[in-house]
Structure 1
């Protein structure tokens, strides 16, 4: 075995793709097993982009550059394939002890690290957005609450004969803000519990239709103020074994979401029973959810991108998903014919014990 072939046989054991080519001509002399195993070619005429994804002309292909004598020291290049992008750190070295010289290129794939970096960047962006929105959402009710109580205090000092009904009327705005604060704090606690696998269910038997109608009646006025009509289309009489408070919370979050994004259109709630599974569906005729956002919106602190500015912590749908998981069920969103969104919460009628992940 020649020294050259022996050296190349050693390269076959490397996990890093290696390409050896003739200087100037660019003729490929050898590719190791790792390079041959790739589902695409590392050498021209395959298209390649820079590390940021900008397409490069053929003369800027890393193999072409190395063949004409340029030394590559850890530059990033991206190959686009139907299965996804592959990003490599490329190094080159020229051996001119022979004529023509031999160029050796190594390709270290860093795609997983690049994806992790992008995920981290998105997470940091979501965190910053969350902190901004949370500050606004928590500050607003506190400000209103303070103004209402100060106004009531001044009134009590001036009007010593205030009736009970007058006091109650003036306290109503403050109570609304206290309830709002309670919901915000509860949502934050639920996120903490879900992430630490402490989402405990207190199951009981109850009639589904009663729960659905109670939730919809509670949001009738809020939907009317948003210009929407909220109706219960169908709900079979079925006894379920669920955590009533949690399912009520999940359905309330879906209805609230429909009111926020429903663009003043009608909102419908219906339930169905098939086999041993109940499906609760909330439909709106609003702005809809883009295909690329249909998984993301169920993550914490996420909101669907749209031209509408809706302030929220981005926790409602995440909590719905965790409540569904705790019951051994699922939640999904789909587009609705004619526009809008359809959220479907599917839960087994009988819930016993669901293991934490």
Structure 2
């Protein structure tokens, strides 16, 4: 037999079960795809955090700018009592802005269910009254009248900053979409629970949108009609649920919306 006719002797390890090469290649491809997806998720998480940060820091900045403007007007008239009152308000607003910065990381952790709550005794009644007062300039500019029915001295063991954010988001939402019509806010308590309602008579929300608007980057109308990221209701729901409560909405298109928040006063985590 010629050497050219000889068949090469195979090593025992040279033979692979049929399909093994394809499996190895598939595993490598799958691993690369997983890494790429992880990178995309990380970029998406970063973008989400930046959007949340922009939204949550913009809300307290607006009343600060308004207070500065009113303070300048008071200085021109020399109204010392008005100046003193505005300085007190501005100081409180700056403190709240700092608190909001402190919880930004907590908001970024909402999706991973790692939100840290700092519970303390909170006067919900005074909180709602204060938020309404701070939104008066915005109400005037929008041409909306807000009436409130606030039960006195409702005390709850809640996260003060989180509750304030919820109230701010709902009232800001009512002003934005209320079409200059009246807004009603109520706060009541019963059976160790507090119930906050914010009702407007604006564009309303269709049945098919009642769940969608609580999703991230969603809103009741298209983006071109109103500015913002569509995060307020998403943040409000996550914060409410983190404190053991619930939030929902009823309404019809063109007939306004009624948002209801229910929170346990004794504090319960979900």
Query: Would you identify which runs of 4 or more consecutive aligned residues in structure 1 move more than 6 Å?
Result: 181-188
More contact order relative to length (CA 8 Å, sep ≥ 6): 2
Pairwise CA distance, 1:196: 2.1
Over the aligned positions, Cα root-mean-square deviation in angstroms equals 3.5
The CA distance in 1 between the partners of 2:182 and 2:151, in whole Å, is 18
User: Match of 1:233, SS?
Assistant: strand
Task: Give the equivalent residue in structure 2 for 1:340.
Answer: 256
The CA distance in 1 between the partners of 2:174 and 2:148, in whole Å, is 14
Note the residue ranges of structure 2 that are not aligned, 5 or more in a row: 1-43, 59-74, 77-89
Q: Going by fraction, where is helix more abundant, 1 or 2? A: 2
On the 8 A contact 2:203/2:254 being kept in 1, the answer is: no
Whether 2:100 is the aligned partner of 1:199: answer no
Task: Give the equivalent residue in structure 2 for 1:259.
Answer: 175
The CA distance in 2 between the partners of 1:184 and 1:208, in whole Å, is 18
Counting matched residue pairs gives 191
The CA distance in 2 between the partners of 1:185 and 1:214, in whole Å, is 20
The CA distance in 1 between the partners of 2:104 and 2:240, in whole Å, is 18
Task: Give the equivalent residue in structure 1 for 2:243.
Answer: 327
TM-score of the pair, normalised by structure 1: 0.47
Note the residue ranges of structure 1 that are not aligned, 5 or more in a row: 1-126, 142-164, 167-174
Task: Give the equivalent residue in structure 2 for 1:148.
Answer: none
The CA distance in 2 between the partners of 1:236 and 1:272, in whole Å, is 9
The CA distance in 2 between the partners of 1:189 and 1:262, in whole Å, is 31
The CA distance in 1 between the partners of 2:253 and 2:222, in whole Å, is 19
Pairwise CA distance, 1:305: 3.1
Aligned with 1:273 (options 189, 192, 203): 189
Pairwise CA distance, 1:189: 4.4
The CA distance in 2 between the partners of 1:276 and 1:209, in whole Å, is 15
The CA distance in 2 between the partners of 1:263 and 1:254, in whole Å, is 15
On the 8 A contact 2:243/2:263 being kept in 1, the answer is: yes
Deviates most, 213-222 or 331-340:
331-340
Q: Which has the larger radius of gyration?
A: 1
